[in-house]
Amino acid sequence: MTIRVLLADDQALLRATFRILIESCEDMEVVAEATDGAEAVGLTRTHRPDVVIMDIRMPGTDGLAATSAICSDPELSGTRVLILTTFEIDEYVAQALRAGASGFLGKDVTADGLIDGVRTVAAGESLLSPLATRALITRFLASPEQSSRLASPEDLASLTAREREVMARVAEGHSNDEIAEKLFVSPLTVRTHVHRAMTKLGARDRAQLVVVAYQSGLVRAAPPPSGER
What are the structural domain ranges in the chain? 3-127, 145-215
Q: Is the dihedral of CA 183, 132, 36, 145 positive or negative?
A: positive
Instruction: Write phi, then psi, for 50 (nearest 5 degrees).
Output: -75, -35
* Selected residue with higher pLDDT from 31 and 127: 31
What DSSP state is assigned to residue 137? I
Using the predicted structure, report yes or no on whether residue 33 has a pLDDT greater than 80. yes
CA dihedral 115, 206, 129, 140 (to 10 degrees): 130
* Selected residue with higher pLDDT from 72 and 135: 72
Percent of the chain whose pLDDT exceeds 70: 81
User: What pLDDT was estimated at residue 138?
Assistant: 56
What DSSP state is assigned to residue 7? E
Length of the chain: 229
What CATH class is the domain 3-127? alpha beta
* Selected residue with higher pLDDT from 214 and 143: 214
Question: Is 54:30 a contact under the CB 8 Å cutoff?
Answer: no
Pairwise CA distance, residues 129 & 126, whole Å? 9
For 69-120, the pLDDT digits (tens) are 999 999 999 999 999 876 545 567 677 777 888 888 877 778 888 898 898 8
User: What pLDDT was estimated at residue 112?
Assistant: 87
Would you give the end-to-end CA distance of the chain in angstroms? 44
What kind of fold does domain 145-215 have according to CATH? Arc Repressor Mutant, subunit A (1.10.10)
Strand pairing of 51-55 and 28-34?
unpaired
What mean pLDDT is predicted for residues 20-39? 96
Q: Are 3-127 and 145-215 the same fold in CATH?
A: no
